[in-house]
Amino acid sequence: MRLGVFGGTFDPVHYGHLVAAEEVRYRLRLDKVLFVPAGMPPHKLDHDITPTRHRVAMLELAIASNPGFALSRVDIDRHGPCYTVDTLALLHEEYGPGAELFFLMGMDSLADILTWKDPERLIRLARIVVVGRPGFQADVDELDKVLPGAAERICIVDTPLMEVSSSDIRQRVREGAPIRYQVPEAVEAYIRAHRLYLDDAY
């Protein structure tokens, strides 16, 4: 089984995530892409994260119509900070030796990979699939010099580029700017119904 793993805060999920995941699923002939919302992400302790139940509910609405997408609770059902390397090890346990993992990330996240826990093991546990993000470049050959094996385990996939980010969407909601066409309609309706992102804390 070829399993895509797309980790993120998804606060909220948006079309940038969805279009990238769908294109990678198709191009790499993945059986499924698992969206793995973070419980308490170690990289994002600088802003208040929306309660997990809201982020999960929005993800469920966003992926419901795609049989190639699924949600994994692996990072939200355990406590404390969740490191990607541990998530991947748990998914290997859950899906068994027949599963080949492909970890999806945006170009912006690749730049940070050396700061993540145990990047050497991380690239052994999963192939890394990097999708473009406007304004971000990465040099895999340079990375390979400090993280041997990186070039072999990382591939960059061209997907339709969308200059959308969760932080921008939160700010737009706060300011009263439209978010239509940036998130699925059901996600927008959920944000409005629960009055998310109106508060300065976000």
Q: Which residues contact ligand ATP (rule: CB under 6 A)?
A: 8-11, 16-17, 20, 105-106, 108-109, 131, 133, 162, 164-167
Q: How far is the CB of 183 from ligand ATP (least distance, A)?
A: 11
* In contact, 141 and 1? CB cutoff 8 Å: no
Q: At what angle do helices 52-63 and 185-193 cross, to 10 degrees?
A: 150
Residue with Cβ nearer ligand ATP (142 or 167): 167
* In contact, 33 and 180? CB cutoff 8 Å: no
What is the sign, positive or negative, of the torsion defined by CA atoms of 81, 87, 93, 95? positive
Distance CA 69, CA 46 (A): 29
User: Is beta strand 100-106 parallel, antiparallel or unpaired with respect to 69-71?
Assistant: unpaired
Q: How many CB atoms lie within 10 A of CB 105?
A: 22
Residue with Cβ nearer ligand ATP (8 or 119): 8
Give the residue nearest to ligand ATP (CB): 106
Q: How far is the CB of 98 from ligand ATP (least distance, A)?
A: 26
Residue with Cβ nearer ligand ATP (56 or 98): 56
Residue with Cβ nearer ligand ATP (18 or 147): 18
Q: How far is the CB of 170 from ligand ATP (least distance, A)?
A: 7
